[in-house]
Amino acid sequence: MASGAGDPVTRQEFVDAVAEVIGMRPGVEEQVGTIVLLGDAYAATRADAVLHPQCRCGCGRPVAYKRLRLAESCYRRWRYRGYPPEIPPAQADTIAGKVEDYAELRAAGFTQAQAAWRLGVSRRTIERYAQRLRAGTP
């Protein structure tokens, strides 16, 4: 190969080397190139999954607790809820869901106090939900 000992190898040099090692004719280098690209893609996904694992709950955060495969915040949420078999959803998802539930209760004619009781939250929390709805953020 044309590269020195510490120089990076170009894609074409690598394809040529693979073709030479496995004894392929020069006319089928495209097949070798395809094999190399597929191998690169496979190696990249495997290496990325091993070197940078993501939380198993699907939040996309990097794993902080490798044995449990959980991110820091997801681990705290799981531990706080008493180590349930399923990872509980993030609070942002829960809040957005409760705001939507509040909006449905208000549309059905419930007062703020009745909605607070039905959702199991304080009246101050209901006021924050109402502010979020007025602002247009779930």
pTM as predicted: 0.39
pLDDT of amino acid 3: 46
Model pLDDT for residues 93-128, shown as the tens digit of each residue: 677 888 888 988 999 999 999 999 888 889 999 999
- Between 4 and 136, name the one with better pLDDT: 136
pLDDT of amino acid 123: 92
pLDDT of amino acid 127: 94
Model pLDDT for residues 60-106, shown as the tens digit of each residue: 788 888 888 888 878 888 888 888 888 877 766 677 888 888 988 99
The torsion region of residue 52 among left (phi > 0), alpha (psi -120 to 50) and beta comes to: beta
Give CA–CA dist 36/16, Å, rounded.
11
Compute CA 40 distance to the chain's CA centroid, rounded to the nearest angstrom: 22
pLDDT of amino acid 28: 64
| Structural tokens at position 3 | 């590269």
